[in-house]
Amino acid sequence: MKITVIGAGAIGLLTSGYLQKAGHEIQLVTRTKEQAEQILLKGLSYKREEETLACRVAASPIHLSDMNWADLIMVTVKQPQLPSVMNDLKGKVPPDTPMLFLQNGMGHMETIEQTFHNPLFVGVVTHGAMKTSPVEVKHTGIGKIIVGGKKEWQPLLLELLTGDDPFSIEWSDDTTRMMEKKLLVNLVINPLTFIYQVKNGELLKDSRLKREVYAIFKEGASVLGFEENAWEDVMGIIQQTRENQSSMLSDRKAESITEADAITGYILNRAKKSGKTCPKIQELHDEVKHIEGENENA
């Protein structure tokens, strides 16, 4: 399958590497001309434990990329970058080209559906990935990608779902629940790792942090309607990605806008609609926004 991956960050580089290895042809779309040139010159490499895998992929900056080439377009930019990417893609993607969106958080698909009437898919990623240079990514935690969309479009994605271990892609018939489960994970991990500037695994090592993790889990699970047994799943993903620097902590280090509005902000809105209060999540949200504001003004 010919796949255009938009966003050559941690997830874009990781998925491009593994999908190319699984036999797909990749066009990697960057924001800058400089990154595309480096990828063309050096290829990309993805590192898992002691093993480094390298591959060659096509690359071009978004304003020069051909959106007619691919059988599938995967969008792996972060939530705050989606509006600009959507704007760049408007009128350029053929109406029957399937598009798969792999963002953390919720709320984005409603906006995307208003602009694109293509076969749309949404996915969640539980891998840990850290970009270590414009052409290199470290696979810091093995998870999976779960995707979903309208059932009648599932056959379109079947070819993609044949990814090799440890890069498996699964289909979900219930995208809302799939996204809510991932939202609960990000709610618990991302803001705390951002605030305390620790790797995911530290959340389980430090007893004070673990208590905070549980308090956030309780509030989030109540808003999203999860039972106590969801705790095990959340713990499992923290454990799997213990060596990862969460994507929100990466934002702090890069002084970029975070995905807080689509994670803590989304939960707070949803709680408000159902008359619930989430003091702990409110506190976290305010703290992340405060630090983000300080970075912006620096």
Ligand X SMILES: CC(C)(CO)C(=O)C(=O)O
- 191 within 8 A of 138, measured Cβ to Cβ: no
Binding mask 95-134 for ligand X (x = CB under 6 A): ---------x---------------------x-x------
Question: Which residues, numbered 166-205, are part of the site for ligand NDP (CB under 6 A)?
Answer: none
Binding mask 31-50 for ligand NDP (x = CB under 6 A): xx--x---------------
Which listed option, ligand NDP, ligand X, none, makes contact with residue 38 (CB within 5 to 8 Å by class)?
Answer: none
Answer yes or no whether residue 77 interacts with ligand NDP by CB under 6 A.
yes
Nearest approach, Cβ of residue 200 and ligand NDP (Å): 9
Place of tokens 């620790």: 198
Active site residue 182: yes
Nearest approach, Cβ of residue 77 and ligand X (Å): 13
Which listed option, ligand X, ligand NDP, none, makes contact with residue 189 (CB within 5 to 8 Å by class)?
Answer: ligand X
Which of 110, 112, 121, 107 has its CA nearest to residue 267?
A: 107
Please enumerate in sequence order all residues whose Cβ is within 8 A of that of 53, keeping only pairs 6 or more positions apart, or say none. 17, 21, 45, 46, 47
Alpha-carbon gap, residue 156 to 96, rounded angstroms: 11
Contact stretch for ligand NDP (CB under 6 A) within 17-25, 126-134, 167-175, 288-296:
126-134
- 5 within 8 A of 77, measured Cβ to Cβ: no
Answer yes or no whether residue 189 interacts with ligand X by CB under 6 A.
yes
**Helix residue spans in the chain (DSSP H):** 10-21, 33-42, 82-89, 108-115, 154-157, 175-196, 202-205, 207-224, 230-240, 247-254, 264-273, 279-297
Answer yes or no whether residue 131 interacts with ligand NDP by CB under 6 A.
yes
Alpha-carbon gap, residue 115 to 149, rounded angstroms: 16
Please enumerate in sequence order all residues whose Cβ is within 8 A of that of 69, keeping only pairs 6 or more positions apart, or say none. 2, 4, 27
Contact stretch for ligand X (CB under 6 A) within 38-46, 80-88, 167-175, 239-247:
239-247
**What angle, 0 to 180 degrees and rounded to 10, lies between the N-to-C axes of helices 230-240 and 207-224?**
130
Answer yes or no whether residue 26 interacts with ligand X by CB under 6 A.
no
Provide the residue count of the chain: 298
Which residues contribute to the site for ligand X (CB under 6 A)?
104, 126, 128, 185-186, 189-190, 200, 237, 241, 244, 246-247
Which residues contribute to the site for ligand NDP (CB under 6 A)?
6-12, 29-32, 35, 62, 76-79, 81, 84-85, 88, 102-104, 125, 127-129, 131, 244, 247, 250, 259
**What amino acid positions are annotated as catalytic residues?**
182
